Amino acid sequence: MGEFFYSALGFIVALGILVAVHEFGHFWVARKLGVKVLKFSIGFGRPLWSRRAGRDSTEYAIATIPLGGYVKMLDETEESEGSIPVHELPRAFNRQPLWKRTAIVLAGPAFNFLFAILAYWIVFSMGIDGIKPVVGRVAENSIAADGGFQVGDEITAIDGRPNRSWDEHRLYLFNQAFGKRKISAQVNDTNGERQERYIDLSRLSLSEVGPGLMERGIGLYGYVPEIPTRVGAVEADSPAALAGLETGDEILSIDGEPLSDWEDMVKLVQRRPGKVTAFKLLRNGEELVLSIVPERITQGERTFGRIGIRPAPITLPEEMLVRVHYGPLEAVGSSVENVWIMSSLTLKMLWKILQLEVSAKNISGPLTIAQYAGQTVRIGVDRFLLFLAVVSISLGVINLLPIPLLDGGHLLYYAIELVTGGPVSKNVMLWGQQIGIVALFGLMSLAFYNDIVRLFG
């Protein structure tokens, strides 16, 4: 129940902020360019709250369906003939020169990008907690192993960029991975000597360019302390719960094989799908033995066992913790760069999906957004701001796609108008709206399907 509450709260707050930012861009630029704004709404449908204010008696509203918003401007194409007073016709949107209409439409996505820059800047200026960039493990026969990386290397720079935490340049690596580039890393080895290592990203497949790029793709793992075999949580109705395993139990051995850490235990459990397994454990100073049948899980061609438990929280040693703090000007530069890279990556990913080179499963919908929003709300303000920045960039990029009904669709019409010297016909706009509805419905359906599979699959 608590997780649902945080997800719902995070989703409502995040979407409310980002929709308000986007629509305020349209609203503010329209007002500045002399266009009359009739309504500013966060959400669609029946208003939950509304009021009128300003010299134009603009209506401000919060509506029942939170999946978007809109700014309604004075426009002859949307009003019955003769219903607009003659003295207000110069303030109608449709009577504005092309550059003004373009600026008003562009303002929504532009404000999304500006908001993302501001959010990054706040977080970078406050400082970000991270882990010292020390290599904890190098996967065998991996890109990292071939590049010369060794356990204990402290990565001090990537392509000449100072590196202060394990995740500081992860986004940069994503971007370079799409370009299949070979990059260099400066490290201090275990003897304190400066060395140069290499990461050949041309060996990566596109399926490896994702959240696990550093680990599963490159084969570089950061410092991870030994995780004890103490149970931190037991999932409801899992094999562990049905067998009577409890939070706080310390698992000593599995089928007589002693355990050194949590990873040991996971490996042994995964080898026993569907088999009765003896777990020797310590509970309140007493040794017990429970029989548990690991659930059989199949992912692709791989089948493994799972009992449904999570480890107890661990505390990292102080010497491995860092706080990366940026000066005001450095924070501006890093914020702009992050927004640029994220925008570029979003477009590249969408293009690769259209080319069928990347799975459409990467598209997320409101359920996944709500889940991540809830998680970041609980973690802290800085993580929630970073989440808002990423989603704001995505909204900005998607709204610029040349799909009718989106801002990009209007900009496409304006580009045609610029070339032909006249606005597109009503028939073309009608066909465009129908195409846009089908495209958006298909995209939303796919996003919802992916959400459901992630949450319940």
Domain that holds residue 168: 128-225+316-324
Residue 21 maps to a domain: no
Both 285 and 399 in one domain: the answer is no
Residue 29 maps to a domain: no
Both 179 and 320 in one domain: the answer is yes
Q: What is the pLDDT of residue 225?
A: 82
Indicate which CATH number applies to the domain containing 137: 2.30.42.10
The single residue listed with the structure tokens 């459990």 is 269
Q: Active-site residue 301, yes or no? A: no
Both 385 and 408 in one domain: the answer is yes
Strands (E), 105-261: 128-131, 135-138, 154-158, 161-162, 182-188, 194-200, 220-222, 231-234, 250-254, 257-258
Structure tokens at 416: 């045609």
Both 178 and 262 in one domain: the answer is no
Residue 50 maps to a domain: yes
Domain edge (last residue) among 258, 276, 311: 311
Residue 211 exposed, middle or buried by CB count within 10 Å (0-12, 13-18, 19+): exposed
Distance from C-alpha of 408 to C-alpha of 436, rounded to nearest angstrom: 11
Residue 416 maps to a domain: yes
Residues 6 or more apart whose Cβ sits within 8 Å of residue 365: 444, 446, 447, 448, 450, 451
Q: What is the pLDDT of residue 422?
A: 82
Q: Domain total for the chain?
A: 4
Residue among 23, 79, 154, 168 flagged as catalytic: 23
Residue 188 maps to a domain: yes
In 33-97, which residue ranges form alpha helices assigned H by DSSP? Answer: none
Domain edge (last residue) among 285, 302, 324: 324
- First-to-last CA distance in the chain? 20
Q: What is the pLDDT of residue 449?
A: 58
Residue 267: how many other CB atoms lie within 10 Å: 12
Both 141 and 175 in one domain: the answer is yes
Residue 2 maps to a domain: no
Both 118 and 91 in one domain: the answer is no
Would you give per-residue pLDDT tens digits along the chain (457 residues)? 456 666 666 777 788 888 999 999 999 999 999 999 999 999 888 888 999 998 889 999 999 887 788 999 998 887 666 678 888 889 999 899 999 999 999 999 999 999 999 999 999 999 888 889 999 989 888 999 999 999 999 999 999 999 999 888 888 888 888 777 889 999 999 998 999 999 998 888 766 666 678 888 898 998 878 889 999 999 989 999 999 999 999 999 999 999 988 988 999 999 999 999 999 999 999 999 999 999 998 877 789 999 999 998 888 888 888 998 899 999 999 999 999 988 888 888 777 767 666 555 555 545 555 555 556 656 678 888 888 898 899 889 988 988 888 899 889 989 988 998 888 877 877 777 777 677 766 666 655 555 555 555 4
Domain edge (last residue) among 45, 77, 95: 95
Both 320 and 179 in one domain: the answer is yes
CA geometry: angle 373, 104, 20, nearest 5 deg: 25
Residue 421 maps to a domain: yes
Both 146 and 235 in one domain: the answer is no
Both 242 and 210 in one domain: the answer is no
**Cα 237–chain centre separation:** 30
Residue 25 maps to a domain: no
Both 155 and 109 in one domain: the answer is no
Both 141 and 220 in one domain: the answer is yes
Both 185 and 320 in one domain: the answer is yes
Strand (E) or helix (H) holding 391: helix 381-399
